[in-house]
Amino acid sequence: MNPTLMLAIGTLIYTFYAWLTFSPSMKMSSYLIPLGIGMAVAGNFLWIMMARSIHQPAVLVYYGMLWDSMITVSFILVPIVFFGVRFNLISGIGCGLVLAGLTLMKLGTH
């Protein structure tokens, strides 16, 4: 499977996973734990399949950066888009620094 397609599927998985963890009704549901475990396993399986399909270390570092950023962005945007969470300026700068830090860590490893 194409790594870009796997990244897109991973985005859907982690967006749903983030929604599960922020949804007040799902937090009270008996389905939260099995669905959460299922999403975690599906996401990790997809990452392993992606890593297995990419043979060049530099390309894997690039996709790893995208993968980590996708997860971080999912868990930042889901509460903003679906649950009305609002960040102030300092929180917004912090989110930007998190993404910049992930990028710098990944770029510094090759």
pLDDT tens per residue across span 67-77: 988 998 899 89
The predicted pLDDT at position 71 comes to 94
The predicted pLDDT at position 21 comes to 95
Domain extents in the chain: 3-107
How far apart (Å, rounded) are the C-alpha atoms in residues 104 and 97?
Answer: 10
Can you give the chain as a three-state secondary structure string? CCHHHHHHHHHHHHHHHHHHHHCHHHHCCCCHHHHHHHHHHHHHHHHHHHHHHCCCHHHHHHHHHHHHHHHHHHHHHHHHHHHCCCCCHHHHHHHHHHHHHHHHHHHCCC
The predicted pLDDT at position 99 comes to 81
Counting as low any pLDDT under 50, the low residues of the chain are none
The predicted pLDDT at position 17 comes to 97
